Structure 1
Amino acid sequence: MVAEAIDFKINKVAESRVNQLDPENIVFGTLFTDHMLVADCVNGEWQTPEILPYGDIAYNPALASLHYGQSIFEGMKAFRNVDDEVVMFRPEENFKRFNISAERMCMAQVPEEIFMGGLQKLLELDNAWVPDGENNSLYLRPFMFASDVYLGVRPSFNYRFMIIMSPAGQYYANPPKVKIETQFIRAAEGGVGYAKCAGNYAASLYPAKLAQEQGYTQLLWTDAKTHTKFEESGTMNVFFVKDGKLITPKTSTTILKGITRDSLITIARDKGYEVTEQDVFVKDIIEGIKDGSVTEVFGAGTAVVVSPFSAIGYEGEDYVLPEINSDSVSSVLKKGLNDVRKGISADTHGWVYKV
């Protein structure tokens, strides 16, 4: 991991706000650390990155990203392990995926020394903000947007890359109740579904709002053509346990290649579970819940980690899933993942980076 390849301009805060952090009462995405990183790409040339006190930014009303949607981001986490060290989990995979998103959105590629080095510098400065606790972490949000001041449909010539950080606790207080979406779509083949761009999330808000008004927490998205195959769920990839086997939809241009997803597949295989990446049909899962062959359905992602679903709504009926216990596949995989992150189990895959 490159951290020292370039110089960073650093302007430290006069006094830290870390006393505002209550590890026992963390609300996701509401409190931010003392510092943030800003790096500008001007006509293809990256300027010296700056680390500044966290605060507001001002822009011209004609900012291109506000009008034409060139905006991407990543979600990743830092943890405090059992030796009180601050670590990141698979940051190089987020770096790679960020630039895949940038390419699809016709944006500048961010150099490794800015992305990775920026994370390193920020965590060195704000390491006191990484909360202890089983379900606690520091959420890291690298993002980039078009910074041209121009009203015209074309890729921007200039970009701003930033990193902000926010303490995070458990995302869902209770297991989500999800609805299978068969009217609206999240992504279509050939589109930007595999990119982590802002527009994907904007498009999901209205159908998610309708589902929430019906008592559901999130949506289970299906394919755009037939609405017969599962894709992903809101902020998560999705897994199914059927006849004791772990099944997840295979990735495509319509499904985000989740890093948590990939990690869980590896951990599951290490633990001896049979894992299949395949087309997963709605009718097969509904029938499986009815006959008892489907025992678990859960989401997986950076923010939620592993989140078992309590029930699935489909065509006006709710199908309740069995309660989860410590022997459930989702529980075993979540513990396996957290144990690696926290340094309880050996990092046999080289996933953990110590800051």
Structure 2
Amino acid sequence: MSGIREVPEGLVAWERISAHSHITGLGLEGLKAKFIGDGMVGQTEAREAAGIITRLIKEGKFAGRAILMAGPPGTGKTAIAVAIAKELGKDVPFVPIAASEVYSAEMKKTEFLTQALRKSIGVRIHEMRKIYEGVVKELSIQKEPHPYNPYMQVPTGAVMKLATKDESKKLTMDQSFAMQIVQQGIETGDIVQIDADGGRITKLGKSRQSIEERKVDLTAVEVIDIPSGPVMKEKEFIYTLTLHQLDVMNSRSGGSIFSLLFSSGGREIDAEVRKEVDNAVREMVQSKKAEIIPGVAFIDECSMLDVESFAFLNRALEQDLCPIIIFAT
């Protein structure tokens, strides 16, 4: 199936993040905390200390990758951790876990921690792709009887004429594209974008000219001007995945960056798969096709971790690919 789907994360993590979704930063002016700012209220001394840490991380002067926060429940430890991630920049992953989850998961402790750390490391990928974009001038969909129900017609292909202000092209499409055209209700006058490499067609909206010809005063679809230039063009796509998402995709046969499938969860990933992913990411970084985004892994109730877990995390902190780990207790 064409398209990109997100790998779903656990409901517990979603609940913990959603409680702090209003936080956009530490609420600082320079290194001085405002009493109310960026969704944060109070705890000015702690926020100012977090601001110093954030500046050190950004400047590459932070000695180590671990932070320990201590305080009673409800004093804002998670909120400050979220704010640190927000201050570090756009698309910085933030993964909160509780130490008790390490023991309740249906996998090894080290595997659970490995997945949590790799969810905290993002990869921003830059890719040039071949795109067809324009307004639909003509559209013809070929249909034939369904093999199991001759009374029902199914699309088998399509012919579409796309046009910009400067050029027009007639494109023939297979059944996969024809199905997407029918599902999205694409018709003449619509402006579409076709990703030839990814096998996807996207309806962007309705052309302004089409709306004016129909003399419609109100419309629920987005009205877009007809694009200029050639119909076929090279366009840069920028998207961010985590190392864990890449692990999941490559652990499945036929997995690719453009076909994220829903994960059932609780599955251990082979070390060889992770090694291949790390090598592929390093090659992309060296060729300037990607950049690493170290995120924040927040481990609450860290006093519940045992010696084995701490030894594993200590070793992980020495690796090249490692997020900022915030321990809270």
TM-score, normalising length: structure 2: 0.24
Which of 1 and 2 has higher RCO (CA within 8 Å, sep 6+)?
2
Task: Judging by fraction of residues, say which structure has more strand.
Answer: 2
**Which is greater in Rg?**
2
Task: Judging by fraction of residues, say which structure has more helix.
Answer: 2
